[in-house]
Structure 1
Amino acid sequence: MVGKKSGRALLREEGLARTDNNLDLTTWPQVNMINQKNYYTEFLKRDDQFLAYRAPLEEERNRMVREARDKDRALAQGAPAEGAVDQNDDTMMEDAGAGYGSRDDYASKLIIMHVGSQNLRIGFGSDALPKAVPMVIARRWTESESEENDGEPSPKRQKVEGVIPSSAFPEKWFGDEFSDQYQTMCSELRVRMRANKRRVLPNSKELVINYNKRTPPDIINEHNDIDRIEWTDVPKNAPEYYTGHEALRLPDNSKPRYKLFWPIRNGTFNEKDYTNRNQLYHDISKIFEEAFRTQLGITKPKELANYKCVFVIPDLYERTYVTIMLDILIRDLGLGKVCLQQESLSATFGAGYSIACVVDIGAQKTSICCVDEGMCIEESRVNLKMGGWDVTETFIKMMLVDHFPYADINLKRRYDFLLAEELKQRHCSMDEGTVTVQTLDFHLRASGQDTRRYQFKTYDETMLSVMGFFKPTIFDHAWKLEGRRRIVPRSVDLYDGAPNDPVSVAQINIVDANSDRLTQVNGTQETVNSLAGTSTPARSQQVNLLSRINDMEGTPRSSVAGSPAPEGTPNPDRDTPGMGDGELPSLVFRDPVLEKTKLAEERDKVLPVISLDQAILESLTQGARGEDRKLRDFFGGIMLIGGGSKTPGLGAFLETKLREARPFYGKEILVGPPPREFDPQVVIWKGGSVFGRLSSSGNDSWISKGEYDILGSRLLSNKCMFAW
């Protein structure tokens, strides 16, 4: 019997023994097998594995190495050690990333931009006040804006007996609805003034109308007008475009013709006057580029790589608006770094408040938001599409109804637009003491014409036009939704395609109050308020169809009226009416993405129209979240900012309206302007300057050009100091 052979003998006899020279078959690194019983990975579990966090740290490390090398070189060359940069004293250089020598040098390389519907406010961090540039561009065109539509004026007049005479039937020019609302507001104002023991003359309107009818203008020769306007000269080789103040000073009858384009309307992109997204993109880029050159003195585009920019965006922003603006600043203009900041939060930085309810009344947009401890409360954000421009238009309408002597005024003409803005700023007020018959005058200056001096009388038009903030139906809202989503599509989620623009409960409640109807979604009627509880669009959960079907088939029904099924669950009894026993039901499922899309489209068709005091109360209710102490703090910190808030008496009138609506909080309610005698128009810009110069703001919130080239807008989820 042969004994058992060893393993080595078997390998040797069978020819299985290894006979190579222990050289690797390849130079590719071999990965050991994972112990599947106990393995661990750190993939995407540390901050330094994210480019958005790792790049600033590497940049800071390189800066420290560079400064240490420069210090050693200075010591080796015999220079005193005191000549080197002191990192402890110069805290502003921590987030500069360029090794500036002093705080002033860093602030001079910091640009703050606040874009509005009518003006762009821009300046350096070292400036005390910004420069205001009209957010407009004039391009060569076949006809000017005042010549379009056969010269139809603005505000639009309705024809009376087939013609529009210059002095007949002005009270019927704007329709019966406007006339009725105007008369109602006049009657309410008289009742209010009598209740406040103020004198009201019964024939005040007749005095105003009779005086305006029979007062001709005085002609002043141009060489006798000491305040004449310097109009923009158009040379023979006329440029393709003008921007800013030069565009507004172009003659309407210039050769060649120019047309004004306002790329921002009502706080977002102007899709009504543009037909191409690229044209809108390039117009904004050209306005920014000319502002850098004329206002900041940056003549070479390559120099912008050494500058940082704090860009202020709306509280209730649209993602597409933010990404396009960021793309213009970094890729088109070539700025080195950009930081995004919300308007209301920037206003609290500028005013020095830790808790406040910010009411920003701009030219065409009014935004309201509650700010608490350096954060905008998401559910309290409100965005209303009305502002100072609506007051200007309504004021001109009311004056025309009362036989304004300059009956041919047309807000589409550039000099008439500037005249209307001047009249509003000089004469409109919310103080009841100014509601008397007043004799006023103005000078009409047009290119190529002699100056005309008009005298006119006013009574209650100066107050009732601003009263439109509290009775917004007097404003003209017909054109504000024209072209909506026509050239700039809505932002959607990359995973499921659902709309992902931020919304707030306060804004949804206001929109629902205006819609006042049910929305038909996939054959099921739901109220539009069904998503009022979510502030950020949530990703829809996938439905496990197999388990649902098995549960439905295997579990007998215990009652006819069962519990409601979750969203997306098939319900044969509901979805297939008339299906009898023994027949196979056809499964019909609800698409949550389609429902969200239809819901967003329905909301886009509704313009939020609500009085200013009610909008503030809605924002405060959602911002306090049921806490009475916080609600009282917000009531005591209502801050009015923006150009529209400079109307005399507006804050006191708003405070009175809020106390009438909430008498239990009468002592706590306080509406005031910004502190330290700040101009309400520049508080947001000043807050952006303060925020940009903070040493703690440079580590996480700055978006560099290199990072943006790699990740694009995906970087915003890690860089924004608010929920993106």
Structure 2
Amino acid sequence: MVGKVSSSKLERDEGLKRTDNNMDFSSWPQVDNINQKNYYTEFLKRDDQVLALRLQQEERLNARKKAAVDIDRARAQAAHEGLPFTEPDPDLDEDVAMDDGGSDYGSKNIIIHVGSQNMRIGLATDALPKTVPMVIAKRSARSEAEDSEPRPKRMKLDDSAPSEEWFGDDFAREYNGMAEDFKRYRRGNKRRVLPNSRDLVTKWNSTNPPDRIPEHSDHSRIDWTELPANPAKAPDYIVGHAALRIPENSRPRYQLHWPIRHGWLNERDYHNRNMLESDFFRILEETIKTELDLAHKKDWNQYSCVFIIPDLYEKVMVAKVLDEFIREFGFQRVCFMQESLAATFGAGYGAACMVDMGAQKTSISCVEDGMVIEESRVNLKSGGYDVTETFVKMMLFDRFNYADFNLMRRHDFLLAEELKEAYTTMSDENISVQLYDFYLRAFGQETRKYSFKIYDEGMLAPLGFFRPSIFDFSDRLVGRHKLIPRSIDLYSGHPNDPMSPAQLSVIAFVNQAIPSAVMAAPAKPARLFPTPISATPNKPTQPRPLGIPSHLNGDREATPLSSPAGSPPPPTEETTGTPHPQPTNEETNPDDTTLDLKTTQPDTETLDRTIPVMPLDQAILTSIHHGSMGDDRRRREFMGSIMLIGGASKTPHLGPYLEMRLRAAMPMFPKDILVAPPPRELDPSVLVWKGGSVFGKLRMTNDSWIGRVEYDRLGARILNYKCMWHW
């Protein structure tokens, strides 16, 4: 047996010697393991590593260099001419020192606030904006009245059918229920109630035909939009006020298109996304050219734009607006601002609960210290147009002598707006059977003077803000997301648009209390082979956080839990529209239900099928409850600074009536609740735009502006660094 031979013997006897050639085992670089207990990175930890901030710093540095050169030049010029030179104050604010503007600072800033029915636009230095209808008329074979069913929708179009059956049993039941509650409310206020008031109205309206006035005797004739005698020379489209004054039977025909509906892009009436977006930006472009006297697009690169967006916005739409303004419009800079924050700028409030009541949506948010509280944002899809339509329905229900009322006709739509502004109120002091008249002016027809009577329709129609079940929600979600997809998070796959716990509370309330605002679920395809019934017991469901409804948590229990803002009140109180509500347990103790909805992903299918509507007073309390976050001091501060803004808020006596309902719902705060109009007698409908103009004139807003260089390098990602809120 041979033993182990030592290396020295092998080297001596066999001549074998190990040599090392200093070569590595592999050409791959060897990386040492990181010490997990002590490692550090500086990635995106400094401002100069963020492109948006670095470009801003470079801009400020260049401005300081330019200012220093200007000072040296002025000093040398003064010395050459023998004049004294005053050195600038070194303690002066940097941005103010670099600013070379004077009293007209902001004259190059365009402020745009787009609504569903009207758009406000103007320069930051203007006292008031220009109000332009958000509509475009395009040449078509048929007008919108000829191409769609009449509005309000009639269940029975037969003229021989009684008016009580025109709108179905549901509307008749709601209307009669509101009328009975209104009688009890008036008796409680010691008002005189005649038992036959409705009969007096229907009898007069059904037996009094209109008087006809020749056109040459009418001193208030309408100036209709004139079209060329040759139809071939007629323009392809008309924008704004002129579009609403085009005759119905014009040659050629024009059809009205509204790109914005209920705060969303109007996907229901369009069949092409490019056409929808083209109409939207064409209205903006033509309005800038005509209303702001900027006819040449080449001059727009000298102007900046502040675009006001909703509190609960859609990211796809905001990114599209930014791209269009930078690339197509050629603006020098663009800034986005939320509506509620702009309203506080216009009103001069530091903390407030802003209730923006528009034509087709109502936004409620709590603002504190220049920031919109994200948890408090509420967006209701109802507004002044719903009151207009309901007012017309109520008058037609009471045999209104102009039975051919159709809101799809242009002159009828303008007439309905005039009637609503003239005869709706939230005060029952002067509610009685009264005689009024109006003039119907249609192109090519004699002016007709109608004398009509109304009783409680003028108050019951705006009372729909507190009883939204009277509104028609049948086609509000038709075509939703059929053209423009929802923004989806690339990592989680969940919807990426902002959502708030207060808005989820509204969704939960609708699913429990207003079935008419929940659209039917789409039919699922039938299985080829039915799922067999398993004999094994089902897997136990995971416990759900307190207060989260089952339809928002993913499971489908038979009895959903209460909403975060409180269970729906009994049908005899809030949901019946009683003018003087009684407080509910949830409202008197809003802190009894505590939950955290930040970690809960909403059911996308449920959100797409639910129209967010809620009684106005309850929606305000829901927003304040989530905005205060359990802090009693903040709750009292928000309740004492509730401000009604928007065109629909100009309904007479709406503020005192809302304050009365809030005091009845929250009796523990008898002196803290205050609903105030805008200060300094500002028009509520332009307050948001006014706040945007104030912001556009500030000199300390450089962090919010997005320039061309930044957008070219980062695209829509620049919004993560430039928005004044969490994007």
User: What TM-score, normalized by structure 2, do the two folds share?
Assistant: 0.81
Q: Which moved more, 1:453-462 or 1:84-93?
A: 84-93
1:90/1:321 CA distance change after superposition, 3 Å: farther
Corresponding position of 1:322: 318
What one-letter code is carried by the residue in structure 2 that aligns with 1:465? A
What one-letter code is carried by the residue in structure 2 that aligns with 1:618? T
Q: Deviations over 1:329-381 (max 9, x none)?
A: 22221111111111111111111111111111100000111111111111111
What secondary structure sits across from 1:340 in the alignment? Answer: strand
Q: State the alpha-carbon separation in 2 of the partners of residues 112 and 528 from structure 1.
A: 49
Q: Deviations over 1:672-699 (max 9, x none)?
A: 111111111111111111122222222x
Q: State the alpha-carbon separation in 1 of the partners of residues 405 and 543 from structure 2.
A: 42
Task: Note the 1:416-495 alignment, pairs <5 A.
Answer: 416-495=412-491
Alignment pair present for 1:652 and 2:645: no
1:232/1:483 CA distance change after superposition, 3 Å: same
Q: 2:167 aligns with which of 155, 159, 174?
A: 174
Corresponding position of 2:350: 354
Alignment pair present for 1:201 and 2:197: no
Contact 2:156 2:167 in 1 (8 A): no
Q: Deviations over 1:540-570 (max 9, x none)?
A: xxxxxxxxxxxxxxxxxxxxxxxxxxxxxxx
Q: 1:155 aligns with which of 147, 152, 155?
A: 152
Corresponding position of 1:549: none
Gaps of 5+ in 1: 1-13, 17-30, 538-594
Corresponding position of 1:62: 62
What one-letter code is carried by the residue in structure 2 that aligns with 1:315? D
Alignment pair present for 1:238 and 2:237: no
Q: Deviations over 1:425-483 (max 9, x none)?
A: 11100010121111111111111222111111111000000000111000001111100
Corresponding position of 1:572: none
Contact 1:392 1:420 in 2 (8 A): yes
Q: State the alpha-carbon separation in 2 of the partners of residues 282 and 309 from structure 1.
A: 19
Corresponding position of 1:547: none
Q: State the alpha-carbon separation in 1 of the partners of residues 671 and 430 from structure 2.
A: 27
What secondary structure sits across from 2:127 in the alignment? Answer: coil
Q: 1:714 aligns with which of 713, 717, 727?
A: 717
What one-letter code is carried by the residue in structure 2 that aligns with 1:48? D
Q: State the alpha-carbon separation in 1 of the partners of residues 356 and 543 from structure 2.
A: 27
Corresponding position of 1:681: 685
Contact 1:268 1:321 in 2 (8 A): no
Corresponding position of 1:140: 139
Cα deviation for residue 327 of structure 1 reads: 2.0
Count of aligned positions: 628
Cα deviation for residue 136 of structure 1 reads: 0.7
Task: Note the 1:598-677 alignment, pairs <5 A.
Answer: 599-677=603-681
Contact 2:95 2:700 in 1 (8 A): no
Cα deviation for residue 83 of structure 1 reads: 10
Alignment pair present for 1:220 and 2:219: no
Cα deviation for residue 84 of structure 1 reads: 11
What secondary structure sits across from 2:683 in the alignment? Answer: coil
Q: State the alpha-carbon separation in 1 of the partners of residues 181 and 116 from structure 2.
A: 32
Q: State the alpha-carbon separation in 2 of the partners of residues 413 and 656 from structure 1.
A: 38
1:711/1:82 CA distance change after superposition, 3 Å: farther
Corresponding position of 1:376: 372
Cα deviation for residue 596 of structure 1 reads: 8.6
Cα deviation for residue 112 of structure 1 reads: 0.9
Cα deviation for residue 634 of structure 1 reads: 1.1
Cα deviation for residue 145 of structure 1 reads: 0.5
Corresponding position of 2:127: 128
Corresponding position of 2:112: 113
Cα deviation for residue 601 of structure 1 reads: 2.4
1:223/1:529 CA distance change after superposition, 3 Å: farther
Cα deviation for residue 62 of structure 1 reads: 2.1
Q: State the alpha-carbon separation in 1 of the partners of residues 202 and 395 from structure 2.
A: 10
Q: State the alpha-carbon separation in 2 of the partners of residues 416 and 92 from structure 1.
A: 57
Task: Note the 1:686-701 alignment, pairs <5 A.
Answer: 686-698=690-702, 700-701=703-704
What one-letter code is carried by the residue in structure 2 that aligns with 1:458? I
Q: State the alpha-carbon separation in 2 of the partners of residues 720 and 395 from structure 1.
A: 41
Cα deviation for residue 515 of structure 1 reads: 2.5
What one-letter code is carried by the residue in structure 1 that aligns with 2:712? D
Cα deviation for residue 187 of structure 1 reads: 0.8
Q: State the alpha-carbon separation in 1 of the partners of residues 491 and 57 from structure 2.
A: 31
Q: State the alpha-carbon separation in 1 of the partners of residues 374 and 224 from structure 2.
A: 46
Task: Note the 1:284-295 alignment, pairs <5 A.
Answer: 284-295=280-291
1:254/1:86 CA distance change after superposition, 3 Å: farther
Q: State the alpha-carbon separation in 1 of the partners of residues 545 and 605 from structure 2.
A: 15
Contact 1:93 1:102 in 2 (8 A): no
Q: State the alpha-carbon separation in 1 of the partners of residues 207 and 93 from structure 2.
A: 68
Q: State the alpha-carbon separation in 2 of the partners of residues 89 and 143 from structure 1.
A: 67
Corresponding position of 1:191: 184
Contact 1:74 1:81 in 2 (8 A): no
1:92/1:49 CA distance change after superposition, 3 Å: closer
What one-letter code is carried by the residue in structure 1 that aligns with 2:211? D
1:40/1:378 CA distance change after superposition, 3 Å: closer
Cα deviation for residue 526 of structure 1 reads: 7.7
Q: Which moved more, 1:52-61 or 1:399-408?
A: 52-61
What secondary structure sits across from 2:668 in the alignment? Answer: helix
Cα deviation for residue 197 of structure 1 reads: 0.6
Task: Note the 1:76-91 alignment, pairs <5 A.
Answer: none
What secondary structure sits across from 1:142 in the alignment? Answer: coil
Corresponding position of 1:566: none
Contact 2:75 2:85 in 1 (8 A): no
Contact 1:512 1:529 in 2 (8 A): no
1:61/1:459 CA distance change after superposition, 3 Å: same
Cα deviation for residue 100 of structure 1 reads: 4.6
Q: Which moved more, 1:202-211 or 1:397-406?
A: 202-211
Q: State the alpha-carbon separation in 2 of the partners of residues 81 and 300 from structure 1.
A: 43
Cα deviation for residue 531 of structure 1 reads: 11
Corresponding position of 1:704: 707
Alignment pair present for 1:255 and 2:254: no
Contact 1:92 1:695 in 2 (8 A): no
1:492/1:70 CA distance change after superposition, 3 Å: same
Gaps of 5+ in 2: 1-18, 22-28, 525-537, 553-598
What one-letter code is carried by the residue in structure 2 that aligns with 1:254? S
Cα deviation for residue 66 of structure 1 reads: 3.0
Q: State the alpha-carbon separation in 1 of the partners of residues 198 and 442 from structure 2.
A: 30
What one-letter code is carried by the residue in structure 2 that aligns with 1:219? R
Q: State the alpha-carbon separation in 2 of the partners of residues 153 and 688 from structure 1.
A: 38
Cα deviation for residue 494 of structure 1 reads: 2.8
What one-letter code is carried by the residue in structure 1 that aligns with 2:348? G
RMSD of aligned Cα (Å): 3.3
What one-letter code is carried by the residue in structure 1 that aligns with 2:223? E
Corresponding position of 1:27: none
Alignment pair present for 1:303 and 2:302: no
Q: Deviations over 1:619-641 (max 9, x none)?
A: 11111111111111111111111
